[in-house]
Structure 1
Amino acid sequence: MKIDLSGKSALVTGSTGGIGFAIARGLQEAGAVVVINGRTEAKVDAALAQLGGPARGHAIDLGTPEGAKELVAREPSFDIVVNNLGIFQPLDFFDADDAVWESHWQVNVMTGVRLARAYLPDMATRGWGRMLFLASESAFNIPVEMIHYGVSKTADVSLARGLAKRMAGTGVTVNSILPGPTLSEGVAEMLKSETAAGKSLEEAGAAFVREHRPSSLLRRPATVDEVANMAVYLASPLASATTGAALRVDGGTIDFIT
C-alpha cells in the first residue's frame, strides 16, 4: 500500500510543532505541497527550515475571524485541510470563567467552522477533497480536570459528522481523529514538574496515563508520528470510503466498542 499525494495541496493549522508538524511532515513525504501555520514568524520559519522542500507557511492567529479571512485571502484553495490548531488548559470547572470557555470555543471549534465554510465549496466543485478535525479521546472521555476542553472536542466530532453529511456525494470526505494522550510539546510542558524531578518524558507520560487514563490499553502516550500516520492515510485517496467517522488513535482509552 503506497500513499501518493503528488499534485495535492494541504493546509495544516497549528503546525509549527507537535502533532501538527508531524502531520505536515507526513503529508509532504507523501508528495503533497504543504502550507503550515503558526502564530509567530519565528516558529513558522523554524518549522519550514525543518521541513525543507516546497512547503510554505503563514504566521496568522486563526483563532479569530480576521485571521481566517487573512489566510483565505492568501491561500484561496486547498485539496486537503487538517484542522489541528487547538489549546488545552487544565483547570477545575469552578475556576474556569467565561473567558476560558470562550477561548477554547474560538480556537478549538470556530477555527474549523470558518475554514470549512471557506474551503469545502471549492473542494466540492472540483469533486475531491479531504477535511480532517483533530478532536480527542476527551470528546467522549470528558476529563474532569478540563471539562471546557472536552466539550470543545465533542463539538469538533459533531462538526465533522455534520459536515460529512453536508458534503455527501461530492467526492469530499470529512472525518475526525481522536488521539489519546500524546507526547507533544504541550504535554511535555504539562509534565515539566515530573521531568524536572528526574523522570524521562516517556516515564512521566506513562505515569500520567496510568493515573489519569487508567482505561488505556497502550499504557503509554502515543507519539506524534503515530497520530500523524492516521491523518496522512485519511487525507489520501486510499481512504475514499471513509467519511463521517471518528477514528481513534487513543491506545484503547475510550472504554466502549466502536
Structure 2
Amino acid sequence: MDLKLKGKTAFISGSTAGIGFATAKALAKEGANIIINGRSKNSVTDAVKRLEKEVPSGLVSGVEADFSYKKEVDNLLKKLPEVDILINNVGIYKSQSFFETTDDDWQQQIEVNVMSGVSLSRYFLPKMLKQNWGRILFISSECATLVPEDLIAYSTSKAAMLALSRGLAQLTKGSGVTVNAIVPGSTLTEGAEEFLKMTAEKEGKSKDLVSADFFKKVRTSSLLQRFASVDEVANTIAYYTSPLSAATNGAVIKVDGGSIGGIL
C-alpha cells in the first residue's frame, strides 16, 4: 500500500533505537524525509548511518537534543526545518517504589515525556494549521491504563499524553491536520531484550521461557501473549501519519496486544 508520504518531512523524537527508529525506517521506506533525534551526537550519527544502510533510498538527517534541558529544546527548535509529521516518541522511566520516587524523578519524567510534546507541538501545530495539513502523534503506553506499581510516575506521564493529544486535536477542527495517540503494549525493544537477557542469566532460564513467564505471571491480560515487534508497532504508526488516515482525529489507537481490555 502506498501511504502517500513521498516528500513529507517527519521529525521523530527519541528515534535512535526502539519504536522510534523502527518508525523512522517505516516512513523512510515510504519516501518521507526523516529527521532522527537522540540525546548525543554520537547516537544520532550512528542511527543516521544505520538507517541509510537499511534504506539506501531514504533521505535522512539527524539532530541531537536532550529533552531534560530547556536550553537544548530551544536550540533544537531553531535547527529544525518545517515538518509535516511530528511524532512525540521520546520517553524515560524509572522502575521504583512510589515511596522512593523523588520529586526530581517525577519532574524529569514529566519534563521529557510530556513537556517535550508540549514544546514541539506548540511550535509546529500553528505551522501545520497554516498549511492546512499535518500529522502529530503521541506515543503513549499501555502503562497509562494498567499503571504498574513500580511505574506510577511513568504511567502518570503517559496518561497525561492522552489528554494532551485529545486537547490539541480539538484545535484542528475543520482542517487537514490530525492529532492522535498511539498506545503500544509490551514491545521487544532493545531495552526489553536486555531485560529478558539479564533475567534469564539471573534465573538460569532461557530468554524464551522468561518471555513466556512474563505474560503468564505479569502481563496476564495480554491477548497476544508475546512481545510485539518494534516493526509491528511502527507499521501502525506509519499509517496514522499518512493522508489515508484523514478521518481519524483525537483518537487513542491501541497496539497493545489486547492487554488493556475493554471495547473502547
Please give the TM-score of this superposition, normalised by the length of structure 1.
Answer: 0.96
Question: Aligned pair 1:251/2:257, yes or no?
Answer: yes
The aligned residue for residue 211 of structure 2 is 205
- Partner-residue secondary structure (3-state), 1:140: helix
Question: Aligned pair 1:74/2:69, yes or no?
Answer: no
| CA 99–48 in structure 1, closer or farther in 2 if over 3 Å, else same | same
User: Unaligned 5+ residue runs, structure 2?
Assistant: 53-57
The 8 Å contact of residues 15 and 37 in structure 1, kept in 2 or not, is answered as: yes
Alpha-carbon distance between aligned partners in 1 of 2:172 and 2:59, rounded to the nearest angstrom: 30
Pairs aligned (count):
258
User: Unaligned 5+ residue runs, structure 1?
Assistant: none
Q: CA RMSD in A?
A: 1.4
Superposition deviation, residue 202 in structure 1: 4.6
The aligned residue for residue 228 of structure 1 is 234
Superposition deviation, residue 200 in structure 1: 4.8
Partner amino acid, structure 1, of 2:213: A
Partner amino acid, structure 1, of 2:59: P
The 8 Å contact of residues 27 and 34 in structure 1, kept in 2 or not, is answered as: yes
Alpha-carbon distance between aligned partners in 2 of 1:41 and 1:201, rounded to the nearest angstrom: 32
- Partner-residue secondary structure (3-state), 1:58: strand
Alpha-carbon distance between aligned partners in 1 of 2:105 and 2:22, rounded to the nearest angstrom: 28
Alpha-carbon distance between aligned partners in 1 of 2:215 and 2:51, rounded to the nearest angstrom: 31
Partner amino acid, structure 2, of 1:214: T
Please give the TM-score of this superposition, normalised by the length of structure 2.
Answer: 0.94
| CA 165–192 in structure 1, closer or farther in 2 if over 3 Å, else same | same
Alpha-carbon distance between aligned partners in 1 of 2:71 and 2:247, rounded to the nearest angstrom: 35
Paired residue for 1:135, among 129, 135, 140?
Answer: 140
The 8 Å contact of residues 181 and 209 in structure 1, kept in 2 or not, is answered as: no
The aligned residue for residue 163 of structure 1 is 168
Partner amino acid, structure 2, of 1:41: K
Paired residue for 1:195, among 193, 200, 221?
Answer: 200
Alpha-carbon distance between aligned partners in 2 of 1:116 and 1:236, rounded to the nearest angstrom: 18
The 8 Å contact of residues 184 and 223 in structure 1, kept in 2 or not, is answered as: yes
